[in-house]
Amino acid sequence: MTTIIEPFRIKSVEPIKFTNETERKTILKDTGYNPFLIHADDVMIDLLTDSGTSAMSSKQWAGIMDGDESYAGSRSFFRFEEAVKRITGMDFVIPTHQGRAAEKILFSILGGKGKFFPNNTHFDTTRANIEYSGAEAVDLLCEVGKHPEEKADFKGNMDLDKLRAFILEKGPENIPLVFITITNNSGGGQPVSMENIKGVRKICDEFGLKFFIDACRFAENAYFIKIREKGYESKSVLEICRELFSYADGMTMSAKKDALVNIGGFLALNDDKLAMNCRNVLIVTEGFPTYGGLAGRDLEAIAQGLEEITDENYLHYRIRSVEYLGEKLLAAGVPLIEPTGGHAVYLDAKRFCPHIPAEEFPGQAVSIALYEKGGIRACEIGSVMFGKYDEKGKLIPPPMELVRLAIPRRVYTQSHIDYVAEIIIAVFNERHLLKGYKLSYEAPMLRHFTARFELAD
């Protein structure tokens, strides 16, 4: 059969408020043309993020009722701990309120001036936490991963030659750990191969370095390994997960992605001394080690979500529905990162509107047009999010200008996705009408969240 049905029935629904183009034009003006500042009720299809936006299952909701809210030694903690250990095999599990809290704890202990953290591509909060500690975050993505139009199975891989050269240049004593992000969110949700993960492990062993995984979308990555990497086709996703985590010394996790919950995260690791230090920071910043920054009910929902996420019928539907949107767009000539990633379709704004220069934020222009035309909210990942300035105040653009259409897990049906494709194609067919923008306000860090824009002259 070619039709992939959603592997769930819908038991509870949330109405969508419909708006028209005239109303949306006013909303855009009032919110400084920044989709982050739009009231969610005014969004028809929200593809801003796949983070914390999952629909929970009836079993997860049942877990919410069943959560044990004891301050210490909660039953829900032990269920959560067991679920994490079953998939990762890590010895110590530390709950946090979301992924960046796990990053904050880790990098406040291991970071500091003169330290370097290599990664395939750091996500923005990971980079921000490293830089906040005074250390440097360095991206060493493989070359093919930097070219949206080039097809390859594992465009999230680390460039192993560059990693070795980097360690030799900076000195292993200045590299507290090597990190890898699966899937590589900032580079298009592209997977990392098992071979590459093993390669990183080998280099870390050579220099006596620790190796951590930013594991937000580990199950999607594992499914890509199953369908694309030789030797894994008959392994279960759970076996693949266990193998890939076996090469790492630890991980940070935002449970808001592949644990199918609306809030939560954790840090899991094998080093008892480092775990003790992390727990000491946790107690000051998050909470007692058996709840971290979460309620007992949240821990139950994560434990259940971790059981559901490795279901291969779910993962097949998940990866295929993202690919389905990509296929529709490609058939109409819309440029995007190929092949499509695990959680999102990334439009290539450089090729979508080549008449808008990086200084006028082509990705922002596309995402504004998608909202205006169809009430769709997407996220710019380009010069707004990652642009830097030189000494003269001239923009240094990042290598890619992207617009991410992140698909929330188990939320939208195929007809929603068909509508999204229709709107994008309509905007693409009138792309010559798109205009650039300039910033009228920007914060010093993570400016994309609060920036305001106006039309460029």
The residue ranges that bind ligand F0G (CB under 6 A) are: 49, 51, 98-100, 123, 125-126, 181, 185, 214, 216, 254, 256, 265
Q: Which CB atom, from 137 or from 356, has the smaller least distance to ligand F0G?
A: 137
H or E element: which one contains 297?
helix 296-309
CB of 316 to ligand F0G, least distance (A): 22
Give helix 218-228 / helix 237-246 axis angle, nearest 10°: 110
If the CB atoms of residues 98 and 340 are measured against ligand F0G, the closer one turns out to be 98
Residue 456 CB, shortest distance to ligand F0G, in Å, is 27
In the complex, what is the shortest distance from the CB of residue 374 to ligand F0G, in angstroms, rounded to a whole number?
20
Q: Is the peptide bond preceding residue 290 cis, with omega within 30 degrees of 0?
A: no
Q: Which is nearer to ligand F0G, 261 or 275 (CB)?
A: 261
Distance of CA 236 to the CA centre of its chain: 23
Residue with Cβ nearer ligand F0G (126 or 321): 126
CB of 271 to ligand F0G, least distance (A): 21
DSSP string, 315-375: HHHHHHHHHHHHHHHHHTT--B-SS--SSEEEEEHHHH-TTS-GGG-HHHHHHHHHHHHH-
The two structure tokens encoding residue 64 = 């919410």
Instruction: Specify the amino acid at residue 369.
Output: A
- Using the minimum distance from each CB to ligand F0G, give the nearer residue, 95 or 265: 265
Structure tokens at 367: 């995402």
- Closer CB to ligand F0G, residue 74 or residue 125? 125
Q: How far is it, in rounded angstroms, from Cα 166 to Cα 160?
A: 10
Neighbouring residues of 248: CB distance < 8 A, sequence distance ≥ 6: 197, 201, 211, 212, 213
Closest approach, Cβ 171 to ligand F0G, in A, equals 27
The pair of three-digit structure tokens given for residue 72, joined into one six-digit string: 């210490």
CA pair distance 60, 78, nearest whole angstrom: 16
Least CB distance to ligand F0G at residue 267 (A): 12
Put the strands of the sheet holding 402-406 in their side by side order.
Answer: 344-348, 402-406, 379-381
Angle between helices 75-88 and 237-246 (to 10 degrees): 90
Q: How far is 250 from 359, CA to CA, in rounded Å?
A: 39
Closer by beta carbon to ligand F0G, 53 or else 193: 53
CB of residue 208 vs ligand F0G: minimum separation in angstroms? 26
Comparing CB distances to ligand F0G, the nearer of 318 and 356 is 318
Name 435's Cβ contacts closer than 8 Å, sequence gap at least 6.
356, 360, 365, 455, 456
Nearest residue to the partner ligand F0G, using Cβ = 99
Q: How far is the CB of 287 from ligand F0G (least distance, A)?
A: 16
CB of 21 to ligand F0G, least distance (A): 27
* Structural element, H or E, at residue 47: none
Q: How far is the CB of 29 from ligand F0G (least distance, A)?
A: 25
The residue (of 297 and 353) whose beta carbon lies closer to ligand F0G is: 297
In the complex, least distance from residue 184 CB atom to ligand F0G, rounded to whole angstroms? 8
Q: Choose between 168 and 445: whose C-beta lies nearer to ligand F0G.
A: 445
Residue 9 CB coordination number (10 Å): 6
Distance of closest approach, residue 394 Cβ to ligand F0G, in angstroms: 28
CB nearer to ligand F0G: give 283 or 446: 446
Distance CA 96, CA 253 (A): 9
Residues 6+ apart with CB under 8 A from 214: 99, 119, 123, 126, 179, 180, 181, 182, 251, 252
Q: 363 vs 436, which CB is nearer to ligand F0G?
A: 363
User: Whose CA is closest to 370, among 421, 407, 406?
Assistant: 421
